[in-house]
Structure 1
């Protein structure tokens, strides 16, 4: 049995839980509250020295970290991971984009504005640039979706799940998607996929 260590509000963790649900993979969920330092204990750091969720414990006791790596592991041999060489590379391209050009801005703005009681002076200074770069990532997605129903190969897959995790809660970070109709259409298509589950998050 797989064991997933996760924080339920995390978009990175949600991506993994969504894939687990849509592949019908059984697992045990162990919640760790990142706001209380529960991923910085000696026990957790022995599982993931980087002290982050999600972390997946495999049946043999080995551990796998980083949400997109976990997703690739879980998707092998399923329709979510393309068999075609180019489609696999394109999927990785979008997943790298998500972690490098999307998550650091959209997810961080969401965390700062939705979970922290107040911002530090440094965060207040950095926020406009985070928002600017977050919108830049959304604009890249919007242009792609203007000509494509899904991100890779004309079908729902790992790239969509990866980008959906934080895009669908971007409004919690103050991002207005009113001018992104193609993203909004895509969000509805993802939410309509079989096995879809919602994120458990703070309202």
Structure 2
């Protein structure tokens, strides 16, 4: 499993243009049909809140448009982040994607998760809008991939450690004389190959 980062960006000449372009992308990300071809009303996550365009109506649109207009920079990126782990749930994908963005020093974003029942492919992923002062560079995107790999390794090790704890407890004989259970580190987690899939467009 390896993190995939795809990125495209456009330059916008005005705050209202940025809001219009951003809302068009959010409509697509949030409403894209699931595997059963049912139109969705997925959550749109920002650093400050959560919104659903259909459920929250015009109030959500106005708030998101306002945030886009107030965001810094003339560049609006659309990112796709995927960990490569097909077993990740919607909440796990959300937590992983947020960690990747925040550890990459991206604190202004709008994120929509396609995973679990709200997914439309076998690969859980997140679509992200990121306003910036200048285009993201290839080294920045490669660093995001590395951060994604580290976060995925950490999640797998935590999951592995929890499973080992459960196995150790369930296999410990009753009346073990007070001997403490010794937990082993999950250093034998298989290493993943690394690859970069970067897509640029104007």
TM-score range normalised by the length of the shorter chain: under 0.3
Structure having the higher strand fraction is 2
Q: Which has the larger radius of gyration?
A: 2
**TM-score normalised per structure 1:** 0.28
Which of the pair has the greater relative contact order for Cα pairs under 8 Å at 6+ separation? Answer: 2
Higher helix share: 1
TM-score normalised by the chain length of structure 2: 0.28
